[in-house]
Amino acid sequence: MLFALRGLLAPLRSLSRERMAAQVDATDRPASPLLVYVVASLFAILSILLVDRHREELQALGLVGGAERIDPVFMSP
């Protein structure tokens, strides 16, 4: 019974080896600096939008400041 099970799983093992070899080849190349910049920018925009969307919930937890007024001394003319 064990040999039959090994026979059924053998094709899956060979596929995983091929997939691992392809992943090793893919990781040898460095990422494009432009791609890293775009991903970081999109992540920052998404974070800002999520905080803005859930502002009331975050205020209830005390994680985001409320509607405190800014001292006019610090505002530009």
pTM of the model: 0.47
Q: Which residue has the higher pLDDT, 50 or 9?
A: 50
For residues 11 and 22, give the distance between their C-alpha atoms in angstroms, rounded to a whole number.
17
52's tokens: 């803005």
How many whole angstroms separate alpha carbon 64 and alpha carbon 55? 7
- 65 near 58, Cβ under 8 Å? no
Give the integer Cα–Cα distance in Å for 33 and 18: 29
Q: Using one digit for the tens of pLDDT, what is the confidence trace for 15-62?
A: 666 666 666 665 567 778 899 999 999 999 999 998 888 888 877 887
